[in-house]
Structure 1
Amino acid sequence: MILNYQHKQPALSELKQSGENIFIIHGLFGSFSNLFLLENELHDTHHTISVDLRNHGSSPHDNSMTYHEMANDIFRLADHLNIENFSIVGHSMGGKVAMACALLNPQRINKIVVADIAPVAYPEKHNDVFKGLTAVAKEQITTRKAADSILSGYVKMPEVRQFLLKSLRKQGEYFKLQFNLSALIANYASIRGWPESDNIFNKKVLFIKGSDSDYIKPEYQSTILRYFPNAQAKVINGTGHWLHAEKPKTFNRLVKEFFKSTDNAAV
């Protein structure tokens, strides 16, 4: 499949041919608009390709959703765009896709930035979210307020509900969720899991963690360095898992500095 994407050329005309290509990948339940502030920052000096992963946004739906498949979707899109080598920024599930790309085909990947996720299997975290979204999908929703009212019975945090309901799109008389909810539920074990690999990515990697998030724990460091021995880590204080939305200026600055840097120290 060819993923839905948005390709922006560098703002500076002299870089249109020479600027590095950076793929930007959202997390679970998201779409390519989630990291638009980062995209706007990077496209001054880089080619940016923001994507909707399979079963998200306007990309094709599929019954299967492994990390190898999602990584190959990225390579297929790169081939479609005649891009041989590129870097990746990925948040959460998108960070796992970035890591899978780097391990699967390291000669094509320059650098990666992984936002608040580790190459490990996680426990179930989204059961209430799935229940709430299933309840929304069962109803004939005519307003976003009605959808929020239903979802609030399962998801208490308003900002999380607001994010989830960004996927609502008007189709005729009713609002429908844009992501493929049944496929996300069916593939949830794979999404929260991680495909073990003997491969190593020796190039530069930046992990950015939210200080209040539990997605990257100290005990994951040895696993991270096993796969990515040249990794470095940065922590954004006062943020949780949605660090790119909570403190976008800090997050964007760290990403831009990483891509400009020529000598990143290891963790």
Structure 2
Amino acid sequence: MSHPAIAAGNVAVITGGGAGIGLAAAERFAAAGMKVAIADLAGDRLAKAAARLAEVAPGGAGDVLAVATDVSREAEVEAFAAAVTAAFGGVDLLMNNAGIQPDTDVFGPAETWAKLLGVNLWGVIHGVRAFVPAMLERGRAGVVINTGSKQGITTPPGNPAYNVSKAGVKVFTEALAHQLRNAPGAKLTAHLLIPGFVFTELTRNGRSEKPTAAWTPEQTVDFLLERLAAGDFYILCPDNDVSRALDERRILWAAGDVVENRPALSRWDADYAAAFEAFVKGGA
């Protein structure tokens, strides 16, 4: 944990901190002696996560804050930020991680699209706008981590609203990183976490045991911290099935659809199946 923002006594804020990657990150930060504030929807999951963090944090429950928050609602995120400031003071690390993944279709219910975009994309935007200006004003080293997805880069068929939301997170975080590095005196950095296949509530699908191909949330957080220390912006996680080399070829092929003027999502077009396989093998 060599990033200067991750240090005992500093403050970490994680949305979607009630389970999965968010909770695994919160546990790691708490164990490092940071004061940890998590946001999630109201319910037993949030309460259990807070109790778990209190067991890990050297300062116990006094170093943990859990606030029921719907990140799609700007006012609730602003209230969460106010509660963090009142409890702990300034923030050193912000992880906008809350996400949902209901099934969607291009012509599916508008309310499902609105809910998904509200959490996955607007939740990130609300989090940055609620916390980052004050982080900048402090003039201290700090870090912002936004959780994206490979589906926001290669945009596979199957869940267009999710893909749109995560593509938006990528673009927004790129813009944030550019703005921060050009802000005079700014010591904040922004990073895009791009998980692989991780066994969480979003991917469980009724399974009680982790599939062999998946990483655990803890493995994902280990990789995140390693690449944060290295200064990576794009934290592209492998898993037990897909290597970084394969991810790179898939991403390059997706960009090639534009450059080569291929059909949209040609990777899943039968007429391009052989060409895609040859392209992947060519980079092995």
TM-score if structure 1 supplies the norm length? 0.42
Tell me which protein shows more strand as a share of its residues.
1
Highest RCO, 1 vs 2 (Cα 8 Å, sep ≥ 6): 1
TM-score if structure 2 supplies the norm length? 0.40
Larger Rg: 2
